[in-house]
Each structure stands twice: as C-alpha cells, then as structure tokens.
Amino acid sequence: MTLLLSLGLVLAACGGGDDEGSKSGDNGDGDSEDKFSVAMVTDVGGVDDKSFNQSAWEGIQEFGKDNGLEKGDGGYDYLQSKSDADYTTNINKLIRRGFDLIFGIGYLFEKPMGEIADQRPDSQFAIVDGVVDKPNVASILFKDHEGAFLAGVVAGLFTETNKIGFVGGMEIPVIERFESGFRAGVQSVNPDAEVQINYTGAFDKAELGKAAANQMYSSGVDIIFHAAGATGNGVFNEAKEIKQKDPDANVWVIGVDRDQYDEGAVTVDGKEYNVTLTSSLKLVSVGVKDVSERTMNGNFPGGETIEYGLKEGGVGIADSRGVLSEDILAAVDEWTDKIVNGEVVVPQTYDELEAFSAE
C-alpha cells in the first residue's frame, strides 16, 4: 500500500508539471485536451456600440458559455480599438496570448488582417464584413441588403409624409449594401416616397448622427434608417428629444444590426413611449458562433467566404412590438418569401439599384 501510494504521488507530480505551454492543461479528471479559445478585436465603435460590435461580442460570449469557457486567456475575450492604428496591435496581442481563433470585426480589418495572416501562417483568423483571400482567414459576409430591403418595405408602407431618411457611417461597400437594399425596398412598395441620404463619415460620432437626424426631421422626414454603428445612437437621441418636447410628434427610427428597441425608449410626463419602429437585424452573433464551432470541431473554413442571408437566418427585421399593422407584417412576409425563393434579387450596389425592378 505504501509503495502504491508513493508511486501515485510520483505520477501525479509528473503529470502536473507540464502546464506552461498549454492554455488549459490536464484538469485532473482525465481530460488532457486543451480547450479551444476565441477572441475578437472591435473596430472604433467599441464593444458596447449597441450595434455591430456588440452583436459579435454577444456571439462570442454565447459560444464561450455553451462550451464551458471563461473570459480571459484560454477562453474567450475581446480587445477594443480606439483608432485604426490599434487594429494590428490588438490582433498581435491576442496572438501572443495564444487564442486559437481571432476575429476582426469590420471591413476596415481587411488590410491589417491580410498582412498579419502572411506573417502568422499558423494562426487562424476570421473577418466579419470583409474578404481576406488567405488560407488561414475565414471571411464572413452578411446579405445586409436583404434585411435592409425589408426595413425599406416597412418604411415605405408606414411613412405618412413620404419623406424617409438614411444615415450611413462611412461610404464603404457594406454600407452601400444597406443603402441600396433599403432604397429598393422603399421604391418597391411606395415609388412616390423620397429617401434622403446623409453619410456622416464616422461610426463612433453620435453627435454627427444627431445633427444629421435633426436636419432630416426638420425637413419633414418621419422615419430614419441608420447604418452607422455608434453614430446611429445620435439619431435615436434626436428622435427622443423631439418626442420629449412633443409626445405626439411623428418621428421614428429603424435600428440596425441588433434589435434596438430599448434604444428608443423615452418617458414623457410619466408615460412611456418608444421611437423604434423596427430594426434591420444583422445577426453577427450567428456567423461568429458558427465559424467558432466549425473551427473548434476541426473544420476551420480558412480561405472560404461564407455568406449569411434571409435563407440562412443571418438577417431579418425585429419584432415591432405591435407598432406595425397586420397588413405591413403580411407584406414583409410576402417579400421575404420572394427573396428566399429567388423571385426577387435585392440590389447591393448603386449600379444594381439603378437597374432594379421588383416587377
């Protein structure tokens, strides 16, 4: 018995001495496999932008919790970028920390991630809303134009003034998809409606979004769809201020990426109102979780471009909380079926929009 006990202690000591080179090591219950780890780098909008980055982070958190991971090294985490210059630095930090899969959230990661992918061929990366043609990078795209088209259907049928606004962040391909799809949706159900366009040039400047919304609402616009990240928070702020001054004011916001219903909540004289008409959902969380699970299971889609649209459940519109009529909801369902079945191909560029006809 003494000899067996001594031998057991020696073996235990040997088994516990080699944890420096692994992220999780042997946990003592016979499971010696390292746990898969995943992390992301935000763009300048920040992880709490109530939009694009936040949706991605929610997906990573869900993936981590589903697989028994904890926040931090060896589990799941994020780094926040304050400027474009932080993208490369933050990716390299996560590489040094040993994460198995690293996401860059946003089109602006294309160049830095492409360069780092060449330098770090053994690391695995994924980019959301951009394409990096490298064997160790998975590219994730969303058919934003399809979800935006449905938002346009809602706006075109709901507007009372026939004046609708679109506030974009930067003039880049992904926002062009949003604008093109939205305008196509509006014109498909209400060709008499006018859509005013304003690009703020930033995704992290709420004050610019507020100024753009002020100009639009002042000109008679009653619905604004924003695709501007944290800049879009300013659109909500302007609509809520108008509502506080006049509870009967007919001002609405269509949110983006996440269900932004909570962003539209406003209280006037003890009564609760909400200026969110609906939201164009871009379920970044779905794509992030899917690619994470594939990679964890040994099926990393490096070199591939994966698209998530209405058919794949990657885009859509949010519950309107009873604001929209049954007729409008039925129209949304009808157009959804047409898009999924291929009867309608939603434009995603200005050239395609010019040639588009829903007939």
Residue 210 has pLDDT above 60, yes or no: yes
Residue 33: its pLDDT value, please?
A: 54
Inter-residue contact 112 to 74 (CB < 8 Å): no
Characterise 129 by phi-psi region: left (phi > 0), alpha (psi -120 to 50), beta (else): left
Q: Are residues 153 and 277 in the same domain?
A: yes
H-state helical runs in the chain: 2-15, 52-66, 86-96, 110-119, 144-158, 173-189, 206-218, 233-245, 284-296, 326-340, 350-355
- Could you give the CA distance from residue 349 to residue 177 in angstroms, rounded to a whole number? 6
Residue 86 has pLDDT above 70, yes or no: yes
- Could you give the CA distance from residue 189 to residue 119 in angstroms, rounded to a whole number? 50
pLDDT band at residue 49 using 50, 70 and 90 as cut-offs: confident
Q: Are residues 106 and 166 in the same domain?
A: no
Hey, what amino acid is at 3?
Answer: L
Inter-residue contact 284 to 127 (CB < 8 Å): no
Q: How many CB atoms lie within 10 A of CB 340?
A: 14
Inter-residue contact 168 to 200 (CB < 8 Å): yes
**In the chain, pLDDT over 90 holds for what percent of residues?**
81
pLDDT band at residue 189 using 50, 70 and 90 as cut-offs: very high
> Which tens digit of pLDDT belongs to each residue from 233-269?
999 999 999 999 999 999 999 999 889 999 999 999 9
175-185: average pLDDT: 97
In the 8-state DSSP scheme, what is residue 309? -
Residue 9 lies in a domain: no
Residue 12 has pLDDT above 70, yes or no: no
Q: Are residues 194 and 59 in the same domain?
A: no
Q: Are residues 201 and 350 in the same domain?
A: yes
Inter-residue contact 78 to 55 (CB < 8 Å): no
Residue 201 has pLDDT above 60, yes or no: yes
In the 8-state DSSP scheme, what is residue 109? G
- Could you give the CA distance from residue 261 to residue 319 in angstroms, rounded to a whole number? 9
Residue 21 lies in a domain: no
Tell me the CATH number at 217: 3.40.50.2300
Residue 17 has pLDDT above 60, yes or no: no
**In the chain, pLDDT over 70 holds for what percent of residues?**
90
Residue 281, CA atoms < 13 Å, CB-side half-sphere: 19
> Which one, of 113, 209, 224, 115, lies nearest residue 170 by Cα?
209
Q: Are residues 52 and 128 in the same domain?
A: yes
Residue 28 has pLDDT above 80, yes or no: no
Q: Are residues 299 and 205 in the same domain?
A: no
- Could you give the CA distance from residue 113 to residue 92 in angstroms, rounded to a whole number? 10
Q: Are residues 57 and 107 in the same domain?
A: yes
Residue 318 has pLDDT above 90, yes or no: yes
Q: Are residues 183 and 233 in the same domain?
A: yes
Instruction: For tokens 């609906």, name the residue.
Output: 278
Looking at every residue in the chain, the average pLDDT score rounds to 90
Residue 32: its pLDDT value, please?
A: 35
Residue 7: its pLDDT value, please?
A: 37
pLDDT band at residue 52 using 50, 70 and 90 as cut-offs: confident
271-296: average pLDDT: 95
87-101: average pLDDT: 97
- Could you give the CA distance from residue 19 to residue 24 in angstroms, rounded to a whole number? 7
104-116: average pLDDT: 95
Residue 9: its pLDDT value, please?
A: 37
Inter-residue contact 257 to 228 (CB < 8 Å): no
pTM for the full predicted model:
0.79
Name beta bridge partners: 280. 256, 317
Exposed, middle or buried, 301 (CB in 10 Å: 0-12/13-18/19+)?
middle
Residue 175 lies in a domain: yes
Inter-residue contact 92 to 39 (CB < 8 Å): no
Q: Are residues 195 and 101 in the same domain?
A: no
Residue 3 lies in a domain: no
Residue 319 lies in a domain: no
> Which one, of 96, 48, 50, lies nearest residue 73 by Cα?
96
Q: Are residues 86 and 161 in the same domain?
A: no
What range defines the domain where residue 168 resides?
A: 144-281+325-355
Instruction: For tokens 């992030």, name the residue.
Output: 288
Pairing of strands 252-257, 76-79: unpaired
11-31: average pLDDT: 36
Q: Are residues 221 and 340 in the same domain?
A: yes
Q: Are residues 189 and 230 in the same domain?
A: yes
35-48: average pLDDT: 92
pLDDT band at residue 15 using 50, 70 and 90 as cut-offs: very low
Residue 27 has pLDDT above 50, yes or no: no
Residue 304: its pLDDT value, please?
A: 97
Inter-residue contact 306 to 141 (CB < 8 Å): yes
